[in-house]
Amino acid sequence: MAQFEEITIDQGADFEMNLIIRQQNNAIKDLTGYSVAGQLRPTYLSGDSDAVTFGTEITDAFLGLVTVSLTDTQTATMNHLTTYVYDVETTDSDGIVKRIVQGVATINPSVTRL
């Protein structure tokens, strides 16, 4: 079962979330040979055109470190009146997908416009 996390994203700013992936016994998960993907959507039923795709990177496979990010351009288009849902999943070399984190994202509105 995925960990549930509430996150806050500043509209119009770069966003980064660092994750340490652990197994059920709390041991660090070796992510060698894995890929990571994640998205935010206004609702679970929102279509692909409403999805915002995270940039994802396994920063240290052996230590189970993953970085999930959004650019300032991506966050600028997100509606601050909407609470988004999101998840991040891993896929191993056999194609087995596991959700590692999920939750809701609140958007802090931006005042500065450049």
Find the CATH number of the domain harbouring 39.
2.60.40.10
pLDDT at 1 > cutoff 80: no
Length of the chain: 114
Whether 102 is in a domain gets the answer: yes
**Residue 113: pLDDT band by 50, 70, 90 thresholds?**
confident
Q: What percent of the chain has pLDDT over 90?
A: 90
- pTM of this structure: 0.92
Whether 113 is in a domain gets the answer: no
Tokens 């795709």 label which residue? Answer: 53
Whether 114 is in a domain gets the answer: no
Asked whether the beta carbons of 69 and 53 are under 8 A apart, the reply is no
Whether 94 is in a domain gets the answer: yes
Whether 11 is in a domain gets the answer: yes
Whether 87 is in a domain gets the answer: yes
CA 20 from centroid of its chain's CA atoms = 13
Total domains in the chain come to 1
Alpha carbon distances (Å) from 106 to 60, 73, 88, 103: 28, 17, 16, 10
- Give the tens place of pLDDT for each residue, 41-91: 999 999 999 999 999 999 999 999 999 999 999 999 999 989 999 999 999
**79 is in which domain, residue-wise?**
3-108
Whether 14 is in a domain gets the answer: yes
